Amino acid sequence: MSYLEKIDPITFEVLRHRLWAINDEAAANLKVISGSPVATESFDFNTSILNARGEAFVIGPYIASHAIGQGIIVRYILAEYGDNPGIGEGDMFLCNNPYMGALHQNDVTVVAPVHWQGELIAWTGATIHQVDVGGASKGSQASLGAQSIFEEAPPIPPIKIVEKGTIRRDLELEYLLRSRTRDLNALDLRAKIASNSVAKRRIGELVERYGLETVKATMEGIVEYTATLLKAKLRELPDGVWRHVSYIDFENRIYSCRATMTKSGDSLTFDYRETDAQAPAVINCAYSGLEAGILAGVLPLLCCDIPWSPAGVLKAVEILSRPGTVVHAEWPAGVCKATTAGSFMATNLATACLAKMLAASPDHRDHAMALWIGATPVQELFGVDHRGEPFGATILDGMAGGAGARTYRDGVDTGGFIRSLSCVIANVETYEYRYPILYLCRRQEMDTGGAGKFRGGVGISMKYIPHDVDQLATSIMHSFGVEQPTSAGLSGGYPGGTNQYLLLRDSNVHTLLADGLLPVELEEMKGQLEVLPAASERSINRGDVYACFTSGGGGYGDPLLRDPQLVWSDVQNGLVSSRAASGMYGVFLGADGIVDQALTGELRQQIRQQRIAREV
């Protein structure tokens, strides 16, 4: 390998580990200063180290996609800012413009050049999802009704927020002014600046100790090393073409998103050109979201045993897209929900194609997975709380969807979503302490996992009522995959369920509670059921019950091949209903709840006959 001509392999290994540790330290600094639940509980942030060309080669184990955005921002700065305003020692740039790299406006990024004796040798980057960055809609990421980016939170191009080591007060104010959470954004800005500073300092110390050429060789080497490992794996996989299509439902329209993946030798091409034209606003992603979304699929599917070094991974990956589409929007289309819409979809499509390829390889089949939850239902709540103070909340329970089935085992129940493997949901007690709500239930939801020889993990569901207040004034509920499932099955497995938002209006819940009953099922209560679309805004009043169901993961293989004992056990554990046991799996449970082998055989035979008879 060419980089090993410039550096001995032991030093390379030591420095490689050290650079990952430096990035770790940068991320730790960020978390320590920020202290916000977004950074320290949801882990919706990331730090990276990039080479002088703006390619991220070391990233933290958080949201991988942020590193792609940082790279695009750096490359924009390199291309446009060299002479004006210039890229000097001690400068840092802030950007949240999705058309220049940020994934959506909430992902405010700070990147910093690293100089050594006047030479630009690397960059560092830090991104945190900010709770609010302005715009007409509270929370900034679901500007329902927007017709372009102009009605969304205003994007900021790269601005030199730190000049020669000092924060520019004018630019800081210009950035903070528009936010409803100014103090939090100010603290997070300091966290990002500190994280970049520490990474820069440590890289400097490394150069001092080992010499510039050695550190440079390591930085290049990590890219080459990762690319070598990935290409070797690609060569072991079958050549071929795989396709997937999926849909985003938004404001009375269905947007088709299509990918064709071609694998030939040691290269992988993702072609997203057949995707529908962009929406006016909200759900699209810019190119940054597409590249980040594809990477977020390639890393967990192909790189479980390869370092997550984006620049190296991208050496083997080519992306074809058409400007003006949902997954590669053109200015001035809005993109404020990109990370939970267009970019998320890009991940779904990539994951589905990769899974089909892995499933076709006898050696790598055990790395294939059906799709994990394909769209996370999010809820933003605003109102006046039980202390009489205004509050804003993002309820993230919907992250607890189901994981996709594996080729040898069921998917993880309430396993989360694949773009953030370490995500956490808050405890019910935390939400109830912070916000004026009372949960009737939060549980794993039966029949939400896709049926299959191995079942998709089930999703979560929850129901709550306003508590100690008369009204939750504003509830913005946004997702997709409400009209159709998004977590596809694999090799004959069924998709997971759809996401659902429901309101049981004017119910008798308070009468029941007063009578000493604790209703959990909607059927236990009376009221008018309002079924909501994928994105809507409502008030929730006293007497109303809010309910949300998330999708499970896709299944793997024909459900008629599932071991009837596993179906029995799922029924015992409340993960599959007895109706689905017979209808989907062809398993007949006798009156005593035990599998009736003979009748199961007959039932399965019947279902097969029906399938043959069905017209295609």
Partner 1 sequence: MREFIAVDTGGTFTDCVIILEDGRVVHDKAPSTPEDPSQGVMASIANAAKRLDLTVEELLARASVFAHGSTVGLNALCTRNGARTGLLTTRGHEDAILIGRVQQKVAGLGEKEMTYAVRLDKAQPLVPKERIKGISERVDYKGAIIVQLNEAEVEQAADQLVAQGVEAVAICFLWSFMNKSHEQRAKAIIRQKYPQLFVSASSELAPLINEYERTSTTTINTYLGPKVSQYVNALGDKLSGGGLAAPFLVMQSMGGVVPAAEAAFQAVNILSSGPVGGVMGTAFLGKALGLANIIATDVGGTSFDVGLVVNGQPMEAKAPVFEQYRVLSPMVDVVSIGAGGGSIAWVEPNSGLLQVGPQSAGAYPGPACYGRGGTELTVTDADLLLGRINPDYFFTGRIRLDRSRSEEAASRLAGQLGMDGIQVAKGVVDIVDAHMADLVRKVTIERGYDPRDFAIFAYGGGGPTHVGAYGRDVGVKQAVISPFAPVFSAFGIAGADIVRFYGRSSPMLLPFNLVTVNEIFVELEAQARQDLEMRGVQGAEVRIARFVEMKYRRQTHEVKVAVPMGQLDAAAIEGVVDQFETEYERIYGKGTGYRAAGIELTNFRVTSTYIIPKPELESLATADYPVDRAYKGTRPVFFSTGFIDATVWDADLLRPQHGIEGPAIIESMATTVVVHPGQKVTVDSFGNLLLQFQ
Q: How far is the CB of 237 from partner 1 (least distance, A)?
A: 14
Q: Min. distance of Cβ 369 from partner 1 in angstroms?
A: 6
Q: Give me the least distance between CB of 2 and partner 1, in Å please.
A: 12
CA distance 236 to 239: 9
**Token pair 């599932």 in the structure block, residue:** 562
Among 425, 490, 584, 595, binds partner 1 (CB under 8 A): 425
Of 115, 243, 467, 526, which lies in the binding site for partner 1, with binding defined by CB under 8 A?
467
Q: Residues 214-243 vs partner 1: string with x where CB under 8 A?
A: -----------x--xx--xx----------
CA 530 to chain centre: 28
* Residue 360 in the binding site for partner 1 (CB under 8 A): no
The contact pattern for partner 1, residues 59-98, with x = CB under 8 A and - = no contact, is: --x-------------------------------------
The CA distances from residue 365 to 248, 268, 554, 568, in Å, are 29, 18, 16, 27
C-beta closer to partner 1: residue 188 or 249? 188
Rounded CA-CA distance 272/575 in Å is: 36
- Smaller CB distance to partner 1: residue 273 or 443? 443
Token pair 């510039």: residue: 212
Q: For residues 128 and 188, give the distance between their C-alpha atoms in angstroms, rounded to a whole number.
A: 7
How far apart are the C-alpha atoms of 288 and 315, rounded to whole Å?
17
Residue 613 engages partner 1 in binding (rule: CB under 8 A): no
Closer Cβ to partner 1, 217 or 423, answer by number: 423
Which CB, 247 or 464, lies closer to partner 1? 464
Residues 16-45 that bind partner 1 (CB under 8 A): 17-18, 21, 24-25, 28-29, 32-33, 35-37, 40-41
Q: How far is the CB of 393 from partner 1 (least distance, A)?
A: 10
What residues from 187 to 216 belong to the interface with partner 1 (CB under 8 A)? 187, 190, 194
Query: The tokens of 59 are what?
Result: 């990233």
Which residues, numbered 277-316, are part of the site for partner 1 (CB under 8 A)?
299-301, 303-305, 308
Of 148, 422, 511, 539, which lies in the binding site for partner 1, with binding defined by CB under 8 A? 422
| Residue 535 neighbours by CB under 8 Å, 6+ apart | 142, 144, 250, 251, 282, 476, 477, 478, 479, 480
Q: Are 82 and 88 in contact (CB under 8 A)?
A: no
Taking the complex as a whole, how short is the minimal distance between the CB of residue 4 and partner 1, in angstroms? Answer: 8
- Measured CA distances, 32 to 28, 194, 327, 580 (Å): 6, 10, 35, 48
Q: Interface with partner 1 includes 428 (CB under 8 A)?
A: yes
Nearest Cα residue to 146 out of 133, 135, 157:
135
479: its two tokens: 């997702």
Nearest approach in angstroms of CB 550 to partner 1 is: 11
Binding test (CB under 8 A) with partner 1, winner from 438, 473, 566, 599: 438
* Residue range at the interface with partner 1 (CB under 8 A); choices 153-161, 165-173, 341-349, 435-443: 435-443
Sign of CA dihedral 438, 443, 447, 449: positive
Give the footprint of partner 1 on residues 144-183 (CB under 8 A). Answer: 183
- CB nearer partner 1, residue 68 or residue 286: 68
What secondary structure does DSSP assign to 325-349, as a single string? BTTB--TTS--TTGGGTHHHHHHHH
Hey, is 157 helix, strand or coil? coil
In the complex with partner 1, which residue's Cβ is closer, 143 or 309?
309
If the CB atoms of residues 29 and 97 are measured against partner 1, the closer one turns out to be 29
Task: Retrieve residue 300's tokens.
Answer: 């967990």
Instruction: Assess 574 for contact with partner 1 (CB under 8 A).
Output: yes
Whole-number minimum distance, CB 277 to partner 1, in Å? 33
Q: Is 366 in the site for partner 1 (CB under 8 A)?
A: yes
Q: Where are the alpha helices (DSSP H) in 490-556?
A: 509-514
Q: Is 565 in the site for partner 1 (CB under 8 A)?
A: no
**Shortest distance, CB of residue 384 to partner 1, whole angstroms?**
16
Residue 597's CB: how many other CB atoms inside 10 A?
12
Q: Which is nearer to partner 1, 94 or 229 (CB)?
A: 229
Pick the piece of the chain touching partner 1 (CB under 8 A) from 94-102, 133-141, 186-194, 538-546.
186-194
Which residue in 442, 453, 455, 604 binds partner 1 (CB under 8 A)?
442
Nearer to partner 1, 108 or 282 (CB): 108
Q: Are 371 and 351 in contact (CB under 8 A)?
A: yes
Separation between Cα atoms, residue 457 and residue 460, nearest integer Å: 10
Q: Is residue 429 close enough to count as binding partner 1 by CB under 8 A?
A: yes
* Count of residues of this chain found to bind partner 1 when the rule CB under 8 A is applied: 85
Task: Enter the tokens of residue 412.
Answer: 């993880």
Selected binder of partner 1 within 177, 277, 517, 529 (CB under 8 A): 517
> Among residues 52, 167, 171, 424, which is the contact residue for partner 1, using CB under 8 A?
424
Only segment of 86-94, 282-290, 342-350, 408-416 that touches partner 1 (CB under 8 A): 408-416
Q: Could you say which of 158, 383, 415, 450 contacts partner 1 (CB under 8 A)? A: 415
Picking from 227, 239, 336, the residue whose alpha carbon sits closest to that of residue 280 is 336
Q: Which residues are CB-contacts of 454 (< 8 A; sequence separation ≥ 6)?
A: 405, 406, 407, 408, 409, 410, 411, 493, 555, 556, 557, 562
What is the crossing angle of helices 212-236 and 287-302, to 10°?
Answer: 70
What is the nearest approach in angstroms of partner 1 to the Cβ of residue 94?
18
Closest CA to 70 of 123, 115, 16: 123
